[in-house]
Amino acid sequence: MNLKQLSEILGLSQTTVSRALNGYPEVAERTRLRVQHAAQKHNYQPNIGAQRLARGRSMTIGHVIPLSTQHEMVNPVFADFIAGAGERYSACGYDMKLTIVDDQNEEDIYRDLKSRGSVDGIIVHGPLMNDPRIPLLQELDLPFVVHGRASDIDTPYCWVDVNNASAFQRAGEFLLSLGHRRIGLINGLEHMDFAHRRRAGLVAALEAAGVTPNPDYLHAGEMTEINGHDAMKTMLALDTPPTAVVVASFIAALGVRRALDEAGLRMARDVSVITFDDDLSYLRNGDRIPIFTATRSSVRQAGRLSADLLISHIENPTAAPEHKLLEADLIIGNSTGPVPQE
Amino acid sequence: MNLKQLSEILGLSQTTVSRALNGYPEVAERTRLRVQHAAQKHNYQPNIGAQRLARGRSMTIGHVIPLSTQHEMVNPVFADFIAGAGERYSACGYDMKLTIVDDQNEEDIYRDLKSRGSVDGIIVHGPLMNDPRIPLLQELDLPFVVHGRASDIDTPYCWVDVNNASAFQRAGEFLLSLGHRRIGLINGLEHMDFAHRRRAGLVAALEAAGVTPNPDYLHAGEMTEINGHDAMKTMLALDTPPTAVVVASFIAALGVRRALDEAGLRMARDVSVITFDDDLSYLRNGDRIPIFTATRSSVRQAGRLSADLLISHIENPTAAPEHKLLEADLIIGNSTGPVPQE
DNA sequence: AAACAGATTCAAAGCGCTTTGAATGGCGCG
DNA sequence: CGCGCCATTCAAAGCGCTTTGAATCTGTTT
């Protein structure tokens, strides 16, 4: 069933039928109802390709997922982010197009997306400190929202980010308040902007309390269970291991716990652990009482907000770039306690 | 830059330019080279909407992700699956369209996808025992591949699945060979087809060895860390707890380990654990030596195969439905050992 | 009753591509 | 030299929708 057929059935012109369905005001209300009814009855849906062509808009948002050829890891946060974003896309009539790309030819992908008119806008995932995608997309004049920020880029652009610095600063302050001084960090890869900010936040807290960060306590790596485990194990092997660690992800924190178990240590009693918790649907941090004390911010919510921001920016391209900074909650769980007496 | 402009620059008709770029034979090789060169130089890319309309094909594969309103969980396996599938789509010139949908109106989504011509085919995720989507898609005549199978459906259709029954049977046999008789199962939700098959496989192994499965040892629930933990904890509280458990997911197995730790028990020595390992990129089961003994099958590879199957089915619609059954590897790790002496 | 404004409806022209069917040009051959 | 054939190229007709500008139909107004 296409528009022509439907309009013939109704004895109306395609113009009127199209307008009736798209809510234009110049069609009589009686006619509109008749048209809507017939469309429903005959299960008419406008062809998406034709609509795209006629409108010159794709009604599609692109997500480009870089799959680093080095570590081959899909960001585990990603699934929940798009669940949040997808919710908003559906509500606003947008499609979501996913592109998996190895980091070789990522730039070409964006150029393609633009020149083929595949998407009306893009979400940028996992920004680096000085991410080349941002100037590229600006140059291409393709609307975009960054999930995160790029510290080294000054020109304004749209972003949605959690306040990583303040989250890790608060985590540090909380541990300091429990008497900890030997505080470690098991961080993500620090060329990623979020990891950089997290480190800065924790270090700021330590320095404000007159504690000099010990380089042996600062680890950066991919946020897997195994890396969390290995990093903790390495620190525990030091002459004076940390009495507390801040961990950048829930998955890595599970590895940290395993290392502590293996060493016969108990979380909270022997070593305090605070993790960042993205509130992933498949990795809940406990039921009533959180397993880990955590700084929590829902990545799904970030997805929703990013989608809304992008859509409003697409539909109102002249507006100045907006951004949203989310504060993480500090949630007390069973993994922190006062510094052990020597 | 569009086709018309490009053809004017070249002093050729749109026909010839289009044919040159699409590899039709009736264009002189010299001309083709000239056209390709100019296209490159002017960064010409055919508009995707126009192409869709003219060809009557969308060159898009749909993935519909049901987001159960009850548990609000995104399947953690999903990210790796689409990473695998996306790889193949890119290679074959297909786009991937994602739709997040709450289970209310899932049927409407498929009808829409069909009648709007949004996609050329669909991947069905997370099939149930008697999944209504399969007859629906058959009726709609929309090509599809199921990731998994639906036990209660007899009509032929395309699927890619891991041999869940044999994987869990082998896990059971292995535990039996270590002398275990009190063997538990921490399974996924058993209206899901894969969970059903896994249970059947394990039970078959037990019964073949003359062991009657103890209902108290059989648990089914959502595969989260917390559920894994709680299920194990409950079993440990029994008068005669199991000496071994088979767990349906790596994440749940992490919870099982936590429950054992809390109870002061050691994996392998006190309780043996085998998990199913989807080989997720962000949840590797150890480096050299696996943390858990596991039946492993890469979900990313399943994604690749599903994509290939679907594409070949789209491009050759008359062919009979195909399917692929993958065997899981049994990988020995540090979580299993002989049954403890009482 | 004629004239006019406002409310509806319509025909037709795109949107940028593919594809059909026809036209052109170069070449070998009788 | 003229013909036919093959290799190229082209003009034009869609694909199914939106949207412009014109046409028609009401109901008022003078």
Q: What is the DSSP letter of A83?
A: H
Report the pLDDT averaged over residues B13-27. 93
Question: Angle A274-A280-A283 (CA atoms, 0-180°, nearest 5)?
Answer: 70
Nucleotide nearest to A30 (CA to C1'): C8
Query: What is the signed CA dihedral for B217, B250, A283, A79, rounded to 10 degrees?
Result: -130
Cα separation, A107 vs A64, whole angstroms: 11
Is A87 in contact with A61 (CB distance < 8 Å)? Answer: no
Q: Report residue B247: phi and psi, to 5°.
A: -120, 140
d(CA B33, CA A293): 63
Task: Say yes or no to pLDDT of B69 above 70.
Answer: no
Q: What are the backbone angles phi and psi of residue B201, rounded to the nearest 5°?
A: -65, -45
Return the exposure string of B5-42: e unless at least 16 CB atoms fall within 10 Å of the residue's CB, then b. ebbeebebeeebbbbbbeeeeebeeeebebbeebbeee
pLDDT digits (tens, 9 = 90+) for A266-295: 999 999 999 999 999 989 998 788 999 999
Tell the CATH topology of B60-161+299-326. Rossmann fold (3.40.50)
Contact partners, residue B273, CB within 8 Å, separation at least 6 = B244, B245, B246, B247, B253, B256, B257, B260, B267, B292, B293, B335, B336
- Start-to-end CA distance of chain B, whole Å, equals 79
Evaluate if the CB of B28 falls below 7 Å from strand D: yes
Dihedral angle of Cα B184, B186, B187, B188, to the nearest 10 degrees: 170
d(CA A4, CA B279): 51
**Cα(A316)–Cα(B38) distance, rounded to whole angstroms?**
35
Q: A interface mutation test: which of B48, B80, B233 has the most A CBs within 10 A?
A: B48
The two beta strands, A121-124 and A60-66, are parallel
Residue A261, chain B, CB below 8 Å: the answer is yes
Which of A310, A300, A280, A281 minimizes the C-alpha distance to A96? A310
The answer to whether the CB of B334 falls within 8 A of the CB of B291 is yes
Residue B252 parent element (H or E): helix B250-262
> Is pLDDT at A69 greater than 70 in this prediction?
no
Average pLDDT, chain B: 94
Asked whether residue A15, judged by its CB, lies under 7 Å from any atom of the DNA or RNA strand D, the reply is: yes
The answer to whether the Cβ–Cβ distance between B80 and A74 falls below 8 Å is: yes
Question: Distance from first CA to last CA of chain A, Å, rounded?
Answer: 79
* Cα–Cα distance for residue pair B251/B232, rounded to 1 Å: 13
pLDDT tier, A120 (very low <50, low <70, confident <90, very high otherwise): very high
Q: What count of CB pairs under 8 Å joins A to B?
A: 167
* φ, ψ dihedrals at B219, nearest 5°: -120, 140
Name chain B contacts of A79, Cβ cutoff 8 Å.
74-76, 78-79
Q: How many residues does chain A have?
A: 342
pLDDT at A246 exceeding the cut of 70? yes
Strands B183-187 and B144-147: unpaired
Higher pLDDT, A61 or B1: A61
Q: Fold identical between B60-161+299-326 and B164-297? A: yes
In chain B, where the domains are located: 3-46, 60-161+299-326, 164-297
Closest CA to C14 C1' — which residue?
A: A54
pLDDT score at B45: 94
- At residue A210, what is the residue type? G
How many angstroms is C1' of D1 away from CA of B28? Answer: 29
Which residue among A74, A251, A257 places its CB closest to the CB of B83? Answer: A74
> Measuring CA to CA, which residue among A333, A335, A247, A337 is closest to residue A290?
A333
Taking the C1' atom of every nucleotide in all shown strands and the CA of B47, the nearest one is C16
Residue B103 DSSP label: G
φ and ψ at residue A320, rounded to 5 degrees: -65, 150
Tell me what percent of the residues of chain A surpass a pLDDT of 70: 99
pLDDT at A213: 96
Residues (174-213, chain A) with CB within 7 Å of strand D atoms: none
- Does domain B164-297 fall under CATH 3.40.50.2300? My reply is yes
Q: Band of the pLDDT at A70, cuts 50, 70, 90?
A: low
B91: CB partners within 8 A, 6+ apart: none
Which residue, A285, A196, A300, A209, is CA-closest to A249? A285
Q: Provide the pLDDT for residue B145.
A: 98
